[in-house]
């Protein structure tokens, strides 16, 4: 697919992760040698498993394209950038620089984590998007929330009430084996709310996720996104954690 | 120049009942000023229109953006605020006061987000105009050069603040008095040179008046402010804002007001200090009188 080829072209730089240092070969400085030895693993923009327009009318193709190609890609680039700078700062023992870089890493790394999950949470209708969960996850939802409708209502209410930018999550507390609804601000990943929490489904409520199509009517976006929710993915994660 | 980041509990939820909302209801009842229905004063705050038509900022900010940003987002905050404060102690207060009181020193009450966003958006629309941009002059330019080095460096700082406000929020050019926000902080050698311009960024609805600073200029970096016109390109939006929209006349007027306010505060502080000194002298005299009284009784 033409669009995917675009990413593959861009990917090698990211996959090898050295950016401008990639051509160094053997005649590098000590810093480049360290980079090789440490094998700095950087992030790469994942492909979507469906076309940009395939989630319509719930989410427009224009939004999906911008969201993936611009927003997520920027998180990936900025995270890699910050990571390289962090590596250099750690090698030099530059503590102030290490501390200063933390917010960029949290923000962009979090953005990368959250959006990678998000693309897997969505599925075109004709590929099973919107089909409610069954078996283990279905029963757990009934136990912990009363019904699927109650869960959806709760997540939509929390998403609507969230001031500013953030995410609303269906989370599994893997130690207590209970489901819960949680929110995080900005690009904070779910683990910032508890190391025991595993994200099953996340809904981004940053304005860039819906504005071009829904403008300020966030509740409509929240209502419609359930039509393309990939419960199969959520079930797989749930089953693997519970086992 | 360092950025100051105002942090507040990011993502304050309005609808769920945290302990805060319980306290808020208590204030409503204990306030003692909840009037019976028939006599309730509905001091409704109004949606102020921008001082220009909705299409006059094109092509830099489209009419569609203004229609949604002012006509829906800003309007909704006014409506929500009026709803929340009706019949409470906040009803009838000026907007500035509602913002500061509901900020509650960093533990915001439910009306805060709406009050602050109404304040912020009023301030924002007045900060821009058709045919804006250019350069400031006079006292504003002098202070910019003193506190940032040059006009261009100030613009760079402003852009950096706007672009590094992760998530929703605002970037501000602010005039602040150089003092700590504690009651007994005394500057032993106060001078007008202590006051200065700084760049701030703040999350969501937080604004610098809650810290007793004087805002001079603001840019809204919530995505709804620029997404229809610039999509994800916040940097382009900020550049155009500075090159084509900002009204340096308004910023200059605000600076004059801020400087006058700071001077008046300094005068008040000086007067208070003199009164305190006088009070101490008087009480010493009283003590001496009492001491001699005691001596007399012992002698007997």
Q: Where exactly are the structural domains of chain A?
A: 56-242
Cβ of A162 under 8 Å from any chain B Cβ?
yes
Whether B200 is in a domain gets the answer yes
The two three-digit tokens of residue B300, written as one number: 């007997």
Q: Which of B6, B9, B13 to mutate to test the interface with A (most CBs of A within 10 A)?
A: B13
> Rounded to an integer, what distance in angstroms lies between the CA atom of residue A129 and that of residue A51?
14
Q: Is the pLDDT of residue B295 over 80?
A: no
Q: In 3-state terms, chain B is what percent helix, strand and coil (to 5)?
A: 55, 10, 35
Q: Which of A69, A96, A165 to mutate to test the interface with B (most CBs of B within 10 A)?
A: A165
What pLDDT sits at residue B262?
A: 87
For B252-272, what is the mean pLDDT?
89
Whether B8 is in a domain gets the answer no
Whether B53 is in a domain gets the answer no
Summarize pLDDT for A57-72 with one digit per residue, the tens. 999 999 999 999 999 9
Cβ of B120 under 8 Å from any chain A Cβ?
no
Q: How close does chain B come to A183, measured CA to CA in Å?
A: 9
What pLDDT sits at residue B42?
A: 60
Is A13 in a helix, a strand, or coil? helix
Query: Which of A85, A93, A47, A86 lies closest to A69 in space, CA to CA?
Result: A47
What pLDDT sits at residue A61?
A: 98
Whether B6 is in a domain gets the answer no
pLDDT band at B268 (very low <50, low <70, confident <90, very high): confident
CATH number of the domain encompassing residue B186: 3.55.40.20
| Under 8 Å between Cβ of B77 and B117 | yes
Q: Do B10 and A206 touch (CB under 8 A)?
A: no
Whether B278 is in a domain gets the answer no
Q: How close does chain A come to B21, measured CA to CA in Å?
A: 14
| Under 8 Å between Cβ of B140 and B248 | yes
Q: Do B14 and A161 touch (CB under 8 A)?
A: yes
For B121-150, what is the mean pLDDT?
97
pLDDT band at B291 (very low <50, low <70, confident <90, very high): low
Q: Choose among B14, B166, B224: nearest Cβ to A211.
A: B224
Which of A27-31, B104-108, B159-163, B233-237 shows the lowest per-residue confidence on average (mean pLDDT)? A27-31
> Rounded to an integer, what distance in angstroms lies between the CA atom of residue B264 and that of residue B280?
25
Q: Is the dihedral of CA B99, B105, B106, B107 positive or negative?
A: negative
> Rounded to an integer, what distance in angstroms lies between the CA atom of residue B16 and that of residue B165?
26
Cβ of A41 under 8 Å from any chain B Cβ?
no
Taking CB atoms and an 8 Å cutoff, what residues of chain B touch A157?
Answer: 15
Query: Which of A130, A117, A145, A156 lies closest to A231 in space, CA to CA?
Result: A130
Q: Choose among A107, A165, A215: nearest Cβ to B168.
A: A165
CB proximity list for A110: less than 8 A, separation 6 or greater: A186, A187, A188, A189, A192
What pLDDT sits at residue A20?
A: 39
Cα–Cα distances in angstroms (integers) from residue B132 to residues A224, B4, B129, in the given order: 41, 27, 5
Q: Do B11 and A185 touch (CB under 8 A)?
A: yes
pLDDT in tens, chain A (243 residues): 444 433 333 333 333 333 333 333 333 333 333 334 457 889 999 999 999 999 999 999 999 999 999 999 999 999 999 999 999 999 999 999 999 999 999 999 999 999 999 999 999 999 999 999 989 999 999 999 999 999 999 999 999 999 999 999 999 999 999 999 999 999 999 999 999 999 999 999 999 999 999 999 999 999 999 999 999 999 999 999 998
Whether B114 is in a domain gets the answer yes
> Rounded to an integer, what distance in angstroms lies between the CA atom of residue B128 and that of residue B106?
29
> What is the pTM for the complete model shown?
0.81
Q: β-strands A166-173, A178-185: how paired?
A: antiparallel
| Under 8 Å between Cβ of A168 and A187 | no
Number of domains forming the structure of chain B:
1
The two three-digit tokens of residue A234, written as one number: 């959520």
Q: Is the pLDDT of residue B190 over 70?
A: no
Query: Which of A18, A20, A10, A19 lies closest to A38 in space, CA to CA?
Result: A18
Cα–Cα distances in angstroms (integers) from residue B36 to residues B32, B85, B87, in the given order: 11, 15, 9
Summarize pLDDT for B32-53 with one digit per residue, the tens. 445 555 555 566 899 999 999 9
Q: Which of A185, A190, A217 to mutate to test the interface with B (most CBs of B within 10 A)?
A: A185
Summarize pLDDT for B234-250 with one digit per residue, the tens. 999 999 999 999 999 99
Domain holding B80, by residue range, is 63-258
> Rounded to an integer, what distance in angstroms lies between the CA atom of residue A206 and that of residue B131?
32
Q: E strands along A14-173, which residues?
A: 166-173
pLDDT band at B195 (very low <50, low <70, confident <90, very high): confident
The two three-digit tokens of residue B63, written as one number: 């009419």
Cβ-based neighbour number of residue A79 at 10 Å: 22
Q: Do A164 and B232 touch (CB under 8 A)?
A: no
Residue with tokens 């949606």: B47
* Touching A: B residues 1-40, CB under 8 Å: 10-16
> Rounded to an integer, what distance in angstroms lies between the CA atom of residue B114 and that of residue A40?
45
Query: Which of A101, A116, A100, A111 lies closest to A49 in space, CA to CA?
Result: A116
| Under 8 Å between Cβ of B169 and B203 | yes
> Rounded to an integer, what distance in angstroms lies between the CA atom of residue B61 and that of residue B228?
9
Burial category of A173 from C-beta neighbours within 10 Å (exposed 0-12, middle 13-18, buried 19 and up):
middle
CB proximity list for B164: less than 8 A, separation 6 or greater: B3, B201
The gap between the terminal CA atoms of chain B, to the nearest Å, is 72
CB proximity list for B101: less than 8 A, separation 6 or greater: B90, B93
CA angle A138, A139, A142 (to 5 degrees): 90
Whether B20 is in a domain gets the answer no
What pLDDT sits at residue B271?
A: 86
What pLDDT sits at residue A243?
A: 84
The alpha-carbon radius of gyration of chain B (Å, integer) is 24
Cβ of A208 under 8 Å from any chain B Cβ?
yes
Query: Which of B207, B206, B193, B212 lies closest to B261 in space, CA to CA?
Result: B212
Taking CB atoms and an 8 Å cutoff, what residues of chain B touch A159?
Answer: none
Write the class of the CATH domain A56-242: alpha beta
Average per-residue pLDDT in chain B? 84
Q: Do B15 and A157 touch (CB under 8 A)?
A: yes
> Rounded to an integer, what distance in angstroms lies between the CA atom of residue A22 and that of residue A159?
43
Buried b or exposed e, range B156-190, using 16+ CB within 10 angstroms? ebbbbbbeebbbbbbbbbbbbbebeeeeeeeeeee
pLDDT higher for A100 or B6?
A100
Buried b or exposed e, range A141-172, using 16+ CB within 10 angstroms? beebbeeeeebbebbbbbbbbbbbbbbbbbbb
pLDDT band at B69 (very low <50, low <70, confident <90, very high): very high
């Amino acid at each position: 697919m033409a669009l995917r080829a675009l990413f593959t072209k861009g990917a090698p730089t990211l996959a090898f992760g050295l950016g401008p240092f990639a051509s160094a070969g053997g005649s590098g400085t000590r810093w480049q040698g360290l980079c090789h030895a440490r094998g700095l693993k950087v992030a790469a923009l994942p492909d979507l498993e469906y076309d940009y327009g395939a989630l319509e009318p719930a989410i427009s193709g224009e939004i999906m394209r911008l969201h993936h190609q611009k927003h997520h890609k920027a998180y990936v680039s900025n995270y890699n950038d910050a990571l390289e700078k962090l590596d250099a700062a750690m090698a030099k023992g530059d503590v102030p620089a290490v501390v200063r870089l933390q917010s960029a890493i949290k923000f962009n790394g979090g953005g990368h984590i959250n959006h990678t999950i998000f693309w897997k949470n969505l599925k075109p209708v004709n590929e099973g998007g919107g089909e409610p969960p069954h078996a283990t996850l279905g029963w757990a939802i009934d136990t912990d929330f009363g019904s699927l409708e109650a869960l959806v209502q709760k997540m939509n209410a929390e998403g609507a009430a969230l001031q500013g930018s953030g995410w609303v999550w269906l989370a599994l507390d893997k130690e207590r084996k209970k489901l819960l609804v949680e929110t995080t601000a900005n690009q904070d990943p779910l683990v910032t709310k508890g190391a025991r929490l595993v994200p099953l489904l996340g809904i981004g409520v940053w304005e860039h996720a819906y504005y071009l199509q829904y403008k300020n009517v966030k509740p409509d976006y929240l209502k419609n996104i359930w039509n393309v929710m990939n419960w199969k993915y959520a079930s797989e994660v749930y089953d693997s954690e519970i086992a | 120049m360092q950025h100051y980041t105002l942090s507040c509990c990011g993502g304050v939820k309005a609808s769920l009942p945290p302990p805060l909302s319980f306290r808020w209801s208590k204030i409503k009842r204990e306030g003692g000023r909840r009037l019976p229905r028939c006599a309730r004063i509905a001091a409704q705050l109004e949606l102020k229109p921008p001082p220009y038509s909705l299409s006059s900022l094109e092509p830099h900010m489209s009419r569609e953006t203004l229609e949604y940003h002012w006509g829906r987002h800003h309007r909704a905050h006014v409506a929500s605020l009026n709803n929340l404060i009706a019949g409470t102690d906040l009803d009838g207060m000026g907007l500035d006061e509602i913002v500061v009181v509901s900020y509650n020193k960093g533990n915001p009450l439910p009306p805060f987000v709406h009050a602050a966003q109404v304040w912020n958006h009023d301030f924002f629309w007045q900060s821009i105009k058709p045919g804006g941009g250019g350069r400031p002059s006079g006292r504003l330019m002098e202070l910019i050069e003193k506190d940032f080095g040059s006009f261009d460096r100030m613009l760079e700082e402003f852009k950096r603040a706007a672009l590094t406000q992760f998530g929703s929020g605002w970037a501000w050019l602010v005039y602040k008095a150089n003092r700590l926000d504690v009651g007994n902080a005394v500057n032993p050698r106060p001078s007008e040179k202590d006051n200065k311009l700084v760049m701030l960024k703040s999350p969501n609805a937080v604004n610098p008046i809650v810290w007793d600073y004087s805002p001079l200029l603001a840019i809204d970096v919530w995505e709804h402010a620029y997404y229809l016109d610039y999509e994800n390109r916040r940097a382009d939006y900020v550049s155009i804002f500075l090159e084509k929209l900002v009204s340096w006349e308004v910023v200059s007027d605000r600076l004059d007001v801020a400087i006058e306010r700071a001077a008046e505060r300094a005068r008040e502080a000086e007067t208070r200090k003199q009164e305190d000194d006088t009070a101490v002298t008087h009480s010493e005299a009283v003590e001496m009188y009492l001491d001699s009284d005691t001596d007399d009784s012992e002698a007997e």
